[in-house]
Structure 1
Amino acid sequence: MSSPWTDPAVAPDWRLAPAALAVWLATMAGLLLVWWWAAVVGLLAVIAGVVVVRLARGRPGMVRWWRQGIGWSLLVCGLVVGIGGTARLRAAAEDPLREHALAGGEGVFRVTVTERPRPLFAAGFGGRQGGVRAVVIPARTRGAVVGGTTVVSSGRVVLVAPVDRWAALLPGQDVTASARLAPARPGELTVAVLRVRGPPTALGVAPAWQRGAQELRAGLRDAASVLDPEPAGLLPGLVVGDTDRLSRQVEEEFQTAGLAHLLAVSGANLAVVCVAVLLLLRVLRVGPRGCAAGAMLALVGFVVLAGPEPSVLRAGVMGAVGLLALAMGRERGALPALGTSVIVLVLWDPAMAVSVGFALSVLATAGLVLLAPRWSERLARRGVPRGLAEALAVPAAAHLVTAPVVAGMAGEVSLVAVLANLVAAPVVAPATVLGVLAALVAPAWSWLAELLVRVAGPEVDWLILVARHASRVPGAAIGWPEGWWGGLLLVACVLLLVALLRRPRLRVLVCAAFSALLVVVLPVRVISPGWPPPGWAMVACDVGQGDATVLATADPGRAVVVDAGPEPAPLVACLDRLDVSRVPLVVLSHLHADHVGGLAAVLDDRAVGAVGVSAAREPDWAWEEVRELAGAARVPVVQLEAGRRLTWPGLVLEVLAPQAREVMPGAEAEGTEINNASLVLRAATSAGRVLLSGDVELAAQATLLDSGVDLSAEVLKVPHHGSRYTSPELFSAVGARIAVVSVGAGNRYGHPNPTTLGMLDRTGALVVRTDMDGDAAIVPGERGPRAVTRGTARGPPPRARVRRRSGRTWWCGGASVSARRCRVRTPAP
């Protein structure tokens, strides 16, 4: 009996798969290595095609036809990518603008915008996290004058420009700009980055259809404003991929829950719209040809509405493949369409070969075509209702095949993605259709658009609810190695699991192991979590490159927060893990973005008594935002000065600096001046005294030391993330036994500085780093404070230092594990 996978007459039609893979790999090699590697891989494909065609001679009719199809497709595609694809890659690699970009000159450039401007969130020192200060605009060069010399170039460029006047540009618009050149990232077709400061000049007119699409998208955003802020930001993202107004917290929750694909235009969006049009036309009894024409018009119209960007065009092609599979009811006709799509898209835009989104689209479509129908059929044969079987098989297949790419890119694997997608799926289609209808009617009947948006509101609220609860499930996402090796490791694990499940006896063992995990391990982790450690007095939250410290009071669920980190989601997750529901005071040591970015999340989710700030009011945008957020939450803003003493049960907070008479930074202040205006606090906790030094640098440190104020403390929050602008005299005056460095892994500032770490080492302090150890808690001990780290941050822990200075080293593998698996670090006497 022939197998459906071996008999050419009934097997899936794989003939174009080798050719598509050859085009993809050749282009990828040309981009990531050197352009001529595309020609090498193309030549290998041609040779392979010739060999396969020759070997097909003399075979039976069906086998010969099958193998000849593979051989000829390899030969033709190898020639096309080896000649045409290589020529395009060479032209981009040798574009004269690249040399000028390496030299970093300035010039005047005439470009054509190719994609809509994307917001650039600048989370850094002095950058604005709470809003958008710049946009990124992909474009193509039409003419350039660099240093008085005319440069002939038609290469791709990326403009980094101010929001004012630049954010309103549309694809197809010509614009002239003065800019400084910077090199582009390797492995891309982009030849240069243009850093623009002034406004655009000589603006051309965008095509009429682009202006119309922009009006529709703006109408959807305006109509969505009748909803609460979070669903108002999500609905345009769900419908047309417009996430400009989406809160970072919601975005992070969708990522953790495995729902991030809903925030970008994908083939699923197009399939939903086209299926809705098909159903409507069938109700109206339109014939097959009319239905096909209507679905095609809907597909083209949706692409225009979302914007003809590479990601949207890719989604259009993949959505067409999904519709083909749906129409045929089997994968045999869809696989050649998928192969053709890959070949055409990569040849049309070689940059897609190294696009993660492209890889995810191809893999997801292949999973839906190859795996989902078989899995749903098997479930149906085992008695599962067919509708439920398809609802289970579709997200499971898509998640399984895309998990290696997501794991290698994000460094984590979502364990709740399948269930979250299953629960969210019923409302995605109605919300999308209602959103599209609202966009279409908004220019003419705004009241009708608002009505449609209100009808879509509950569905959008449900999606946010699912993502929020799924992301907060203990162990919702587990850490995984990043990069290619991480992806390959997960592929190996998946293949091993599949191999085990194919054997009946081993299948029983695997099911028993998973049952034990669900019945025993997970309840234990939820009921008896190992984090936070009992009696914790202070926790330095792992919020990336920024500061966020939580100080416990004697009242359960009540804690003071000092600084809010660069983004909302990490701080919210930390407070959730600590079960903090009431915050009597949020202290902002200074107004740089890496200290205030998560303030909105604290004000939204917790009962906050007040926001404390210093006399410094710079940067101005941050001060205005703090006032607006606090005002909206009806939380007072209070000024803290040296000598102020704040008391709660189990916690006393002293303000040591700055003095009221000190000169505060002005409107033109640099980052160092703002850092030196940081509040310096000392907290008396159950574990001892804690000195919180903000980002003070050498000048402010010298002022502190000269003032004669008592700086001694058992625990020191190291200033400015361990930067080199720290004096050894400060460390000596504090005399801390434990030094906590709040810093982001792989940051571009070189924090913490090796010299600073060396100074701490000479004082005998135990150094704890959030980039290596994750959340760091300080707990009381018999001989003084101890450090307990959660161990979820990426990067190798400093094991040599732990063995030398700590008698016990326990590791904590997650947010909810038994306490004996946590790392407890006791400083040397």
Structure 2
Amino acid sequence: MTERATDLRLLLAAVIAWAALAITLSWTVTHRGLLVAGLVLAVLAVVGAATHRRRLRRRGRLGRHAVTEGRWSGLLLLSFASVLVLQFAATANDLRAARGDVQQLVAERAAVTVTGRVETEPRRLVGRFGEEQVIVVVAVSTITGRGETGPAAARLQLVGDQELLQVRWSSTVTVAGRLSPPRDAGPEIGRLRISGSIREVRPAPAVARAAQVLRTALTASVRDLPEDARGLLPGLVIGDTSALPPDLDEAMRATGMTHLTAVSGSNVAVVIGLVFGGCTLVGVPRRLRPWLAMLALAGFVVLARPEPSVLRASAMGAIGLLGISRHRRSIGPPLLGGAILTVLTVDPWLARSYGFVLSTLATLGLLLLAGPWGDHLAPHFAKVHPRLRLLGPAVAVPLAAQVVCGPVIVLLQGSVPIVGVLANLLAAPLIPMATIGGVACAGVAVLSPTLGGWLAWLPALPTLGVARVARALAVVPGGSVPWPDGAPGAGLLAVSTVLTLLVGRSLLLVALAHPIVTLLVVALFITLLVPTRTFTWPPTRWRMVACDVGQGDGIVLRSGPASAVVVDVGPDPALIDGCLDRLGVDVVDAVVLTHFHADHVGGIDGVSRGRQVKALLVTAVDDDEPTAREVRTWAQRRGLKATPLRIGDRFTAGALTASVWWPARRIDAGSVPNNSSVVLAVRTGEVDALLLGDIEREAGAAILSELRRRPEFASAARSFDVVKTPHHGSANISPALMEAIRAPVGIVSVGADNDYGHPSATQLSLLRRLGYAVYRTDLRGDIAVVDTDSGEAVVTMR
């Protein structure tokens, strides 16, 4: 049976209407009304032209291009109609949101009482002044303000304290507070700072309560698992990443695997594809496979909660089923176009949602690529063993999703994860085992938490495998290729992808037919995998480098063409010596030892190997540790005197200036040596950095007090370009201090696989909530801050 040609007109029209909606979302109703009027006139013109064409056809006066012209006019009419539908929907949404004068009350920052349905899970955030906030989005049904009560249909963000964490998703609550404008453009038209208690007026529906029971049971069943499995398994099953270790989260981002823990069309597509593969393995009849996949999808929706994002992803996933059905592929793109229009009609603000873009692209990959690629790959797997034929669609699904989602991923993270396809292929066989096992554990844990906890070890094994794949491939040299940021980079990758899909096979055949060309292609591929930093390190105009000295600190601050100030030297002389050699440092203007723990002073001999050391600066708090005596002995042999540093001291070395922010006194609480660390505010070139040594919570609080007393410290606190974070990422820090000195870049100097659990999830999460871009020496190697014409940049060895 010949497959019908695929009609892409509705899909193209939907994409055009989507783009128009994204552009006009912030327009006023008046401006949108003018656009709609213009579109109506355009539709009338197209209809008139089509009517005239039909008359000419009846009279036999149409030329040979009539059919093509008719198709183009049909696409044009369909596009105009689609744009009109979405513009009407956006206008209706705006008019609906204006009910109850909510926008006016927001503008007046009025004190109001609202009743509404909870639409999202509570989220923890750090406020502008370091305080912890909890945010929930509600769909308001009634509002009381300025002495009047009336109906409303707006969405608001509720901002409160820990009490807001007890709010149940999909329940109806009544709260009082003061309104304020939203911080970002979005579907929520304002924020409500809660000033009283929260009262639940209607419990969540039965489906929501059932989902909550299963989610709670799943969380309880994984409580005793290793950290990676405890954080990742709920993410794979229900998209809950609240307990995901930050370093694993970073590894999954680097390998393009974050879609596995996001309730997106990509996630749904992978699960559905693997369900089809399992059905093929056990011999389920073809006609039953879509129904079983739909059943699995319905269970997924209940467990992940039928929030708008979940329903959106599931709708796209259901359409994606057609991409694996050999006999229904031709109707997939029109259905996808219709789904886009339907979803955007219900929620116009999804037009600017990256999640919706990824869901749509993943579904498009299933419809256009996964089926043919699966058919092509299956015979090759079958040559090994007939049962392996099912690996064709199983491999094609993540591959197609990765290819079509690549431009958006570049837009979000500014790099192309070359290892992403390999990482997803290796993880693909593990995902169904983890997902099905996680769902089963949740069901069992509802009846018996103890038994559920025992069974949780079964899905934990494949989950740990997924984590291992992410961590291993995240550090592969060349695994993530830098790419231009923003829309130009996304457009470039999109064009490159399309060209590769169109002519890649022909180019491969040409290369195979010409051995010399093949060798050149292989050589080019190998060149791309070789870390370029091997040949280009150090970067020109470097000003600060955090050396990878293992579990310790070793910071090099440039003071001249071949001179530097070294702050701490790590535990191993060879490591700091190698870093200084790579940087071409011949003269060390000063060695600053923040305190005398071995991981900061053990490598002191490496600094003086073949170099002149001019000065030694140390903490002013006396320390009689053996390492301190060894440092003084080293200094005496080289004719140096250890000069103590106290708060308020300043020193210069060539192009570098430094101000000492700590220590001011001895703190006996916590670790005395750590809290006696020298804290330096340095400027080298145009780079301003704050080096926090190993200070703990107590010293952090003391420095925060100094900020309030010393105007020169306070004025500099928000001007740093980079902060070397405290104590290798320890959880024992002062969040308020990190908020007060917030900087764009945070560097964590830490050793891989250390025994201290550094860096802690607590510090990494805090840094990300405060807006730091976090760089770690255990993952990136040497980290350089470079002074460029357009500002500061970070360049890493890996």
Class of the TM-score when normalised by the shorter of the 2 chains:
0.5 to 0.7
1:720 aligns with 2:722: no
Q: Which residue of 1 aligns with 2:103?
A: 98
Residue of 348, 358, 361 corresponding to 1:360 = 358
The answer to whether the 8 A contact 1:56-1:67 is kept is no
Deviations 1:380-423 (A, max 9, x none): 78999666665554434322322222222233332221111111
The alignment covers a number of residue pairs equal to: 641
Q: Distance in 1 between matches of 2:279 and 2:373?
A: 31
| Equivalent position SS for 2:325 | helix
1:700 aligns with 2:688: no
Q: Distance in 1 between matches of 2:308 and 2:416?
A: 27
Q: Distance in 1 between matches of 2:415 and 2:100?
A: 38
The answer to whether the 8 A contact 1:318-1:361 is kept is yes
Q: Which residue of 1 aligns with 2:19?
A: 25
Q: Which residue of 2 aligns with 1:351?
A: 349
1:553 aligns with 2:602: no
1:398 aligns with 2:401: yes
Q: CA deviation at 1:262?
A: 0.6
Gap change, CA 1:20 and 1:511, over 3 Å in 2: farther
Q: Which residue of 2 aligns with 1:460?
A: 463
Q: Distance in 2 between matches of 1:512 and 1:363?
A: 35
Q: Distance in 1 between matches of 2:301 and 2:406?
A: 27
The answer to whether the 8 A contact 1:363-1:401 is kept is yes
| Equivalent position SS for 2:165 | coil
Q: Which residue of 2 aligns with 1:126?
A: 130
- Consecutive unaligned residues in structure 2, runs of 5 or more: 384-388, 539-544, 559-565, 584-592, 602-618, 636-641, 647-661, 670-674, 683-688, 694-699, 722-739, 747-770
Q: CA deviation at 1:286?
A: 8.9
Q: Which residue of 1 aligns with 2:156?
A: 157
- Report the RMSD for the aligned CA atoms in angstroms: 5.3
Q: CA deviation at 1:498?
A: 5.7
Q: Distance in 2 between matches of 1:435 and 1:76?
A: 45
Q: Which residue of 2 aligns with 1:407?
A: 410
| Equivalent position SS for 2:114 | strand
Gap change, CA 1:513 and 1:33, over 3 Å in 2: farther
The answer to whether the 8 A contact 2:478-2:530 is kept is no
The answer to whether the 8 A contact 2:228-2:245 is kept is yes
Once the two structures are overlaid, the 10-residue window that deviates more, 283-292 or 427-436, is 283-292
Q: Which has the higher helix share?
A: 2
TM-score under structure 2 length normalisation: 0.67
Gap change, CA 1:321 and 1:704, over 3 Å in 2: closer
Residue of 476, 481, 484 corresponding to 2:479 = 476
Gap change, CA 1:812 and 1:250, over 3 Å in 2: closer
Q: Which residue of 2 aligns with 1:109?
A: 114
| Equivalent position SS for 1:722 | coil
| Equivalent position SS for 1:371 | helix
Once the two structures are overlaid, the 10-residue window that deviates more, 275-284 or 325-334, is 275-284
1:444 aligns with 2:447: yes
Gap change, CA 1:495 and 1:338, over 3 Å in 2: closer
Q: CA deviation at 1:191?
A: 1.0
Q: Distance in 1 between matches of 2:391 and 2:295?
A: 31
The answer to whether the 8 A contact 2:256-2:420 is kept is yes
Q: Distance in 2 between matches of 1:323 and 1:469?
A: 32
Deviations 1:216-248 (A, max 9, x none): 000001001121122111111110111122222
Q: Which residue of 2 aligns with 1:205?
A: 203
The one-letter code matched in structure 1 to 2:342 is V
The one-letter code matched in structure 2 to 1:522 is L
Residue of 2, 5, 25 corresponding to 1:11 = 5
1:432 aligns with 2:435: yes
After superposition, residues 172-183 of structure 1 pair within 5 angstroms as 172-183=170-181
The one-letter code matched in structure 1 to 2:104 is E
Q: CA deviation at 1:305?
A: 1.7
After superposition, residues 680-699 of structure 1 pair within 5 angstroms as 680-681=678-679, 692=691
Deviations 1:538-586 (A, max 9, x none): 1589xxxxxxx97323615878xxxxxxxxxxxxxx9xx99xxxxxxx9
The one-letter code matched in structure 2 to 1:170 is R
Residue of 413, 417, 425 corresponding to 1:422 = 425
After superposition, residues 409-808 of structure 1 pair within 5 angstroms as 409-495=412-498, 501=504, 504=507, 508=511, 515-520=522-527, 522-523=529-530, 525=532, 530=537, 537-539=554-556, 551-553=568-570, 555-556=572-573, 642-644=621-623, 647=628, 656=646, 657-660=662-665, 680-681=678-679, 692=691, 700=706, 720-722=717-719, 744-745=743-744, 790=784, 797-798=790-791
Q: Distance in 2 between matches of 1:377 and 1:773?
A: 43
1:266 aligns with 2:264: yes
The answer to whether the 8 A contact 2:570-2:600 is kept is no
Once the two structures are overlaid, the 10-residue window that deviates more, 389-398 or 205-214, is 389-398
Deviations 1:350-377 (A, max 9, x none): 1211110001111111122213334455
| Equivalent position SS for 1:443 | helix
Gap change, CA 1:295 and 1:26, over 3 Å in 2: same
Once the two structures are overlaid, the 10-residue window that deviates more, 464-473 or 512-521, is 512-521
Gap change, CA 1:323 and 1:455, over 3 Å in 2: same
The one-letter code matched in structure 2 to 1:700 is E
The answer to whether the 8 A contact 1:231-1:460 is kept is yes
Q: Distance in 2 between matches of 1:38 and 1:158?
A: 26
Q: Which residue of 2 aligns with 1:815?
A: 797
Q: Distance in 2 between matches of 1:276 and 1:396?
A: 13
Gap change, CA 1:505 and 1:440, over 3 Å in 2: closer
1:217 aligns with 2:234: no
Q: Which residue of 2 aligns with 1:731?
A: none
Q: Which residue of 2 aligns with 1:821?
A: none
After superposition, residues 23-102 of structure 1 pair within 5 angstroms as 23-35=17-29, 40=35, 43=40, 46=43, 50=47, 53-54=50-51, 57=54, 58=57, 70=75, 73-74=78-79, 76-92=81-97, 96-102=101-107
Gap change, CA 1:301 and 1:721, over 3 Å in 2: same
Percentage of identical aligned residues: 30
Q: CA deviation at 1:277?
A: 7.4
Q: Distance in 1 between matches of 2:772 and 2:230?
A: 37
Q: Distance in 2 between matches of 1:327 and 1:319?
A: 13
Q: Distance in 2 between matches of 1:408 and 1:527?
A: 27
| Equivalent position SS for 1:552 | coil
Q: CA deviation at 1:489?
A: 3.7
Deviations 1:589-625 (A, max 9, x none): xxxxxxxxxxxxxxxxxx9899xxxxxxxxxxxxxxx
Q: Distance in 1 between matches of 2:499 and 2:292?
A: 45
